[in-house]
Every structure is written in structure tokens, then in C-alpha cells.
């Protein structure tokens, strides 16, 4: 490898290494179960600033603050539900990836089921309304025979 190739290789490594930054928060937990709960919660809670990123994947300042707050709440001994209630009270239902079933989220949970049922009902009536193929072919044959018979009769009248 020549010196120029080595320089380009090192430059490439430098550029790619700086662009691949990841969010790494080092929080100490006395109990491994707290660490496990923390990891589950940062995956379940959404960053209020980012469009569709959870707290573990976001590098925004507010996500960092929320991770710190989450750590503090876990250290204080709050349950997962209490933590979620706290986050929802501050940031709304948007902060939860799986919003709770309630008056505000009823359409969110029931909408897909209602649309599926509506589609099944429409499909049922469409297929029920269509005549079987054999019956359609028979009707078409009868109509064609009638048209041919009328055409022959008119031709015979014209010849006479």
C-alpha cells in the first residue's frame, strides 16, 4: 500500500467514525432489575421532539433529559406505571409508543378494526351480488340467440 492510499484509507476511517455516533448514557444501577426496567422504558417511551424515535435512539437534548429523569425516577423506586403517568402528564399521550385505551385514543385503537369490518362487509355484498359465471353465460347465450333470431326474421322480411 502506498503512502497516498494509506492516507485516503485513514481519512475514510476518520470520516466514517465521526459520522457514526450513537447515544450512550452510562447510568449506574444498584439492582440489575432496575437496569432492565430502564432499558425497557427507554424503548417504550418516545422522544417528544423527534418524529418517530424512542428515547434510546434519539440524541436530542430533550431525550437526554428524559433519560436522566427516567433514571432518577427509577432510583426513587417509582413503578413503571407511575413513570409513564408522569411522562404522559408532562408530554401527553404522544410520549407512549403504545397509547393507553381511553376516550382520546379510542379511534386510534378501534379505527383499524372498524375499517377491517367495513371492508369485509363491502366485499361480502359485492361477491353476493355477482351472479355465478355459469348463469351469466347461459343468460348471454339466450340473449345472443334472441338477437340472431330477430336478425334472421328481419332479413327474411327484407327478402320477401
pLDDT at residue 28, rounded to an integer: 79
pLDDT at residue 17, rounded to an integer: 59
81-112 b/e (C-beta count within 10 Å ≥ 16 → b): eebbeebbeebeeebbeeeeeeeeeeeeeeee
**CB distance 74 to 37 below 8 Å:** yes
pLDDT at residue 119, rounded to an integer: 95
pLDDT at residue 27, rounded to an integer: 74
Low-confidence stretches of the chain (pLDDT < 50) are 18-22
For 34, residues 6+ apart whose C-beta sits below 8 A from its C-beta are 74, 75
**CB distance 62 to 46 below 8 Å:** no
**CB distance 62 to 48 below 8 Å:** yes
Burial of 66 (0-12, 13-18, 19+ CB in 10 A): buried
pLDDT at residue 133, rounded to an integer: 62
**CB distance 67 to 42 below 8 Å:** yes
Other beta carbons within 10 Å of 62: 14
Amino acid at each position: 500500500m502506498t503512502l497516498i492510499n494509506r492516507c485516503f484509507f485513514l481519512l475514510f476511517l476518520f470520516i466514517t467514525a465521526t459520522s457514526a455516533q450513537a447515544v450512550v448514557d452510562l447510568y449506574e444501577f444498584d439492582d440489575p432489575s432496575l437496569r432492565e426496567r430502564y432499558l425497557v422504558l427507554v424503548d417504550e417511551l418516545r422522544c417528544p421532539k423527534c418524529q418517530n424515535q424512542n428515547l434510546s435512539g434519539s440524541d436530542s437534548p430533550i431525550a437526554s433529559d428524559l433519560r436522566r429523569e427516567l433514571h432518577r425516577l427509577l432510583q426513587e423506586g417509582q413503578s413503571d406505571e407511575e413513570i409513564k403517568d408522569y411522562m404522559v402528564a408532562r408530554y401527553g399521550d404522544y410520549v407512549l409508543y403504545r397509547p393507553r385505551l381511553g376516550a382520546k385514543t379510542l379511534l386510534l385503537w378501534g379505527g383499524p378494526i372498524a375499517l377491517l369490518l367495513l371492508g369485509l362487509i363491502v366485499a361480502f355484498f359485492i361477491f353476493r351480488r355477482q351472479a355465478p359465471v355459469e348463469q351469466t353465460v347461459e343468460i348471454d347465450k339466450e340473449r345472443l340467440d334472441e338477437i340472431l333470431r330477430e336478425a334472421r326474421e328481419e332479413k327474411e322480411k327484407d327478402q320477401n
